[in-house]
Structure 1
Amino acid sequence: MTDLSQAIARFIETLSTAAPIKNRLSLPFTWPAELDPIAWLDAQPIFPKFYWQTRDGNEEVIALGQVKTFSDPDTAERYLAPDQRVWGGRSFDGRTERNQRCLQSFFFLPCIELSRQGENWSVAINLNEEPLRAQAALSKVTHKPQHLAGPECNILSSEHSPAFPEWSNMIDRALTAIDATELQKVVLARKTSLTLDRSLSAAQLMKASRDQNVSNFHFLLALDEKHCFVGSTPERLFERHECEMQTEALAGTIGRGNDEQHDEELAHWLLNDQKNVYENRLVVDDITSRLKGCTESLEVEQTPHLVQLRKVQHLKRDISAALHEGVPSAALLDMLQPTAAVAGLPRHLAVDFIVDNEPFARGWYSGSVGYLSAKKSEFCVAIRSALVMDNVLHLFAGAGIVPGSQPESEWKELDRKVSTLMSLLKPVPEKTAEKKFG
């Protein structure tokens, strides 16, 4: 079988000699065992860049360059040929009065798409009557990626927004609103901004997270060289294959134990804690009520089961549905985002409270990331995520506030969630630091 450079050479030759090809060309190839796909992606001078790995690890995708971009998922979905996918996502608050700078949605049909199903790799180019775009992207591909080491940097300063006193006041206001209005739950978030002593490679952070945070969706979206949104999230928004759909309620959190016995004690506590079980039930009720109008049938797991990750444990209930014929994936995005797990209930009251009280705009955090295609679409919820901007790393985490929530315990929950990515940062070895600053 051909290697990647040979496959790309064949594409270039085909485009220069053959009759016009309308939509897409695809070739299988062999990926070299010694090369990490994220290192290859990092070396490419082509934007936008997108990386995706499914939660079960069975699918991995690299998408580069843009044949066409879309600000509306419905338009994107209707544009596609049967075997094409658009990649991107929807932000939490883009194009609102609060956050004009962030896009509401960004999807792109890539010029080049590398994908792995199981052990089998293929590379495709999308043309859509724009062969010059594909040719230009192919000509820029480099086949000499560098080794991608772990992220090494020193944290010069850190800042929480809100700081704990403001966080505590915000929770008090939320509990007052829950007691006095129809608001049942609101998810409040914190941004932790780290100033580093050197530029951080988003690809380094992504690779380290993918290697350590198993059983997560992993994603990287870079619109340019200086701004990159990355995440390793345990939460699926939905997966849709024709008329079959899977979604889930992931809400209720506790940390991991110091040893096996402590871990089991925490897990038992979480499975039986009234506040966390109630929080999970609210998410289930919201999802099922939103889907009822577009489904033939709906099945919900009776009781929550435990999801154990590297730093935290969650309560989760699986939900499956048979959709009515003709329901587009873009409509499912509208129905399900933002979920009660990242906003609250009722949705409009929770979002209003977030906008009025959180001291920062969320942007892509707690939005959704994934792909749309004619037969199958899949999106994860963009939590356990970070915005990488040169030498500044913005980390995001949220906590569901319901009756019984305590500021101190919710703050600790934010710390545990942020540690999913923050713990990957390793201090610079002393000799390297001395060389840089000596």
Structure 2
Amino acid sequence: MAVDTFFEALENQYSNQLPFVVYSRPINSIIKCWLQTDDTLYKTTEFSESGFVFAPFDLENDSVLLPQDKCKQFTLETSHLHLDEEKQKIFIDDSGKEEHLSIVSKGINFIKSGELDKVVLSRQVTKPMDTINPLDIFKRLFNTYKNAMVYCWYHPKVGLWLGATPELLFKVEGKRLTTISLAGTQPYSETNEVSWTHKEYEEQQIVTDYIAKQIEPYTSQIDISGVDTVRAGNLLHLKTYIISLIKDDCSLKSIIEALHPTPAVCGFPKQEAKDFILNNENYNRGYYTGFLGELNLKSSKPRNTNRRNVENNAYTVLKTESNFYVNLRCAQIKDNKVLIYVGGGITKDSIAENEWEETVNKTKTIVNVLS
């Protein structure tokens, strides 16, 4: 499909206030869009359907589904999208600093008392914008963040969200489960050598150990990679892959409940950290630190890719695939305002002022694309 035709279909969908999602997965030149043919709010609780799911931080709230059989789907192959509109300036101030410092300090004290090992605390930053074209913002995200899941998601009965998340919650290909632990944050610099502190490695190890323990009842042959440094925009993170095989009697829902929310967005132990967040953050995260992605899509692949093996090439393997990404580096657009969500992991060694600066750096990552 041509670029103009692809985005005209999206513009018409948005003008008609019909649900859609447009997205591109990491290291990918393929952009996909799903256009729902009505404005019904479909939900899922069992995650057994096929479609595109948009789930909240707290699964007690609604997980929205764009059902595959209720959507038109289009694909665009391109490595760059043209933009010719003028950028806007968005002013960043320190409003909310004292409140955030207070909550972080409370979290540190709670950890030191032995109640928690880690808690992830976040805040919401509201910025006015005169004119907002979400599809132009999506184009900037796509051009800028090649190693992230970039998306623009809209439902007239829920809202409009955009993001560029570097974090895979997990993906399933047949019985193969792949997930990652991602923690630690520092600004990217072309000149400075990368160096991580003990606090950041500790934070990363908490996430890795937690994921391995959580999936153990449901999987076998768990393989854990080493720790690598990865870049997401102007930030660096620590990253580890965990790969395993799902047991035959295990449902997708059980994997979701075991892994979501991860220590990277919630804390550890999970329930205690989640309770602290819900009782102290003083705002509703909604779909921030939830997850989104393709749910139970069928794919067929040749059994043998060796072209000389004609007999084996006559057979294909049909697999069910799901790809879920944690909704980080995201923003909600509402009433000519941009609501930006940022947070950071708190451990016993955290310093409140440093944690504030981390949220400021993460705010800049999104603002650079919006402005």
Of residues 28, 31, 34, the one that matches 1:60 is 31
Contact 2:43-2:62 at 8 Å conserved across structures: yes
**Match of 1:43, as an amino acid?**
N
Cα displacement (A) at 1:425: 3.2
Contact 1:94-1:363 at 8 Å conserved across structures: no
Contact 1:71-1:105 at 8 Å conserved across structures: yes
Residue in 1 aligned with 2:245? 322
Please identify the structure whose Cα radius of gyration is greater: 1
The separation in 1 between residues aligned to 2:356 and 2:7, in whole angstroms, is: 33
Residue in 1 aligned with 2:302? none
Show CA shifts across 1:231-263 (max 9, x none): 100000001011001100000111012xx322x
Residue in 2 aligned with 1:289? 213
Cα displacement (A) at 1:362: 0.2
Of residues 166, 170, 191, the one that matches 1:261 is 191
Cα displacement (A) at 1:104: 2.5
The alignment status of 1:35 with 2:4, answered yes or no, reads yes
Provide closer, same or farther for how the CA distance between residues 148 and 330 of structure 1 changes in structure 2, counting only shifts above 3 A.
farther
Provide closer, same or farther for how the CA distance between residues 420 and 323 of structure 1 changes in structure 2, counting only shifts above 3 A.
same
Residue in 2 aligned with 1:87? 52
Residue in 2 aligned with 1:109? 67
The separation in 2 between residues aligned to 1:344 and 1:328, in whole angstroms, is: 24
Higher relative contact order (CA 8 A, sep 6+): 2
**Match of 1:72, as an amino acid?**
T
Aligned-residue identity in percent:
24
* RMSD of Structure 2 on Structure 1 (CA): 2.4
The separation in 2 between residues aligned to 1:157 and 1:213, in whole angstroms, is: 22
Contact 2:183-2:207 at 8 Å conserved across structures: yes
Residue in 2 aligned with 1:229? 161
Contact 2:17-2:155 at 8 Å conserved across structures: no
**Match of 2:255, as an amino acid?**
L
Of residues 72, 95, 103, the one that matches 2:44 is 72
Provide closer, same or farther for how the CA distance between residues 316 and 226 of structure 1 changes in structure 2, counting only shifts above 3 A.
closer
The separation in 1 between residues aligned to 2:31 and 2:86, in whole angstroms, is: 22
Contact 1:255-1:311 at 8 Å conserved across structures: yes
Of residues 176, 180, 183, the one that matches 1:244 is 176
Provide closer, same or farther for how the CA distance between residues 211 and 35 of structure 1 changes in structure 2, counting only shifts above 3 A.
same
Q: Secondary structure at the match of 1:61?
A: strand
Cα displacement (A) at 1:112: 3.2
Of residues 329, 333, 340, the one that matches 1:384 is 329
The separation in 1 between residues aligned to 2:355 and 2:5, in whole angstroms, is: 37
Cα displacement (A) at 1:227: 2.8
Q: Secondary structure at the match of 1:276?
A: helix
Q: TM-score by structure 1 length?
A: 0.73
Cα displacement (A) at 1:352: 0.9
The separation in 1 between residues aligned to 2:5 and 2:207, in whole angstroms, is: 37
Q: Within 5 A, what are the aligned runs for 1:308-347?
A: 308-347=231-270
**Match of 1:90, as an amino acid?**
A
The alignment status of 1:152 with 2:82, answered yes or no, reads no
Contact 2:181-2:204 at 8 Å conserved across structures: yes
Show CA shifts across 1:206-237 (max 9, x none): 11111112200012210129930111000000
Show CA shifts across 1:13-68 (max 9, x none): xxxxxxxxxxxxxxxxxx12x53744541332351111121112154321111577
Q: Secondary structure at the match of 1:35?
A: helix
Q: Secondary structure at the match of 1:423?
A: helix
Contact 1:92-1:104 at 8 Å conserved across structures: no
Provide closer, same or farther for how the CA distance between residues 283 and 117 of structure 1 changes in structure 2, counting only shifts above 3 A.
farther
Uncovered stretches (5+) of structure 2, i.e. residues with no partner: 298-319
Show CA shifts across 1:190-210 (max 9, x none): 1110012x2312222111111
Q: Secondary structure at the match of 1:293?
A: coil
Residue in 2 aligned with 1:219? 151
Cα displacement (A) at 1:417: 1.4
Q: Secondary structure at the match of 2:211?
A: helix
Provide closer, same or farther for how the CA distance between residues 73 and 399 of structure 1 changes in structure 2, counting only shifts above 3 A.
same
Q: TM-score by structure 2 length?
A: 0.85
Provide closer, same or farther for how the CA distance between residues 104 and 159 of structure 1 changes in structure 2, counting only shifts above 3 A.
farther
